[in-house]
Amino acid sequence: MDNMMYERVAKNVGCTVQELMARHESVKNSQAVALAKSGVPESEMDTKTLRMAAAEMRAERIRLTRSGATMMEGMFLSVPRYKDWGKVFYAKYQKMLAPLPAEARRNLVAQGLVGLYLHDDVNGGYTHVHNPSLLAKTAFAEGVAETATSSLPAQATEIGDGSGFFVCIENKSSPTYPSGSPNYAYGKARATQDLERTCLFLGRKSGTSDAPSLFSFTFRGDLAKTQHPTFTPGRVAASVSRNGDRLYAKNNVTAFAEDGNVANIFPMAPLMPDGTGLIPTHMKMLDGLDGINDYVASLSDKEKWDALVGVVLEVAHIDPRENGGYILTCADMDLTSATPPLDLYVSQEEDSRVTFGVGSVIVAVGSPYTGREGDGRLAVSGWWAVEEVGVAQLDDDVEEEVAGEDW
């Protein structure tokens, strides 16, 4: 397939030649065997798969346009674990409700915080103890009412003392928004599972010449379950906030696609030999794990919540995980450090990035905190191999140093 054909097709699709070539290669790898079995001759395989790749990309761009989302290019610097706010809220109120007397529980109902479903031992079923203004979707007013019901909502959670069940209320602010449109969350029972993952993305709108900038990138629901790779250049579609500093994932359009060519939009690698780089530019670098406690102590309570640091570490041990991925045991570069090593968990989706062996140097990004025993800890949310030594496989005869090939 000559470059002229790629250029012509890329122009029609509305993408770069590099994007089209990468997608063409992906389609060939996934579809060539099936196409051959269906009778497509080898001489037509390139043309057939290029047509399929172009059709895929054209359909994606149509969906992107209809969704109102924007294509971004860049990379994730931090991808922390997702939070389940539903689990957090229900655990909090279950712990609060269990020891309370009946009147105190009714006060929480009056305040619009919970609804109760108490066992009706006389008539069977349940007594629904609720705030009447929330149920009627009228302006909020404190109060309590009771109605009989024979069924429980899906969100009903046991109080814990055998008296019945409760639900947390999602919203009690107003039945309508300032625009006049209805607030469907008003008075609604909060879901018992409410996933959210807020990542840090460094990039720009695709196709522009803007300098890359930092974005808070939020994923909700099932989209929050995806563990995106960090320090891997690529493209991803998202909704952009009005002030332009936040991104929000959208169903059916947000899917990260790796593209090594996107590395060219960055002026330098994540970490350079002289200590400069994208990571030191955008977050605090610590000298080692033994510096975490002092750094955390210097922060205000508000600063601790959003703190993100980078630490250069040496890989001391690599263990494969049963279900794929690895556990990298990483230690301070300073031989005199008494701080215990850190276990970095590499997911099955990212195990192809572990192409190095023991003795390699990585930079770990994460949230610093002080543990219960007073030890400094790092909740790792991203990593990048600074100096790769050897290979992850147990092959003592192979030792090769690689330093940031894509950069």
Q: What is the pLDDT of residues 252-295, one digit of tens each?
A: 889 898 888 899 999 999 999 889 999 999 999 999 999 999 99
Which CATH topology does 278-402 take? OB fold (Dihydrolipoamide Acetyltransferase, E2P) (2.40.50)
pLDDT of residue 406: 56
Q: What is the pLDDT of residues 331-347, one digit of tens each?
A: 999 988 888 999 999 98
Name the residue among 404, 12, 18 with its Cα closest to residue 207: 18
- Pair 1, 50: CB distance under 8 Å: yes
Does the pLDDT at position 183 exceed 80? yes
What are the start and end residues of each CATH 2.40.50.140 domain in the chain? 278-402
- Pair 187, 128: CB distance under 8 Å: no
Q: What is the pTM of this model?
A: 0.80
Name the residue among 142, 140, 70 with its Cα closest to residue 111: 142
- DSSP three-state, residue 347: coil
pLDDT of residue 194: 95
- DSSP three-state, residue 21: helix
Does the pLDDT at position 387 exceed 80? yes
Distance CA 98, CA 91 (A): 11
Looking at this protein, which amino acid is placed at residue 89? F
Residue with tokens 């990542």: 199
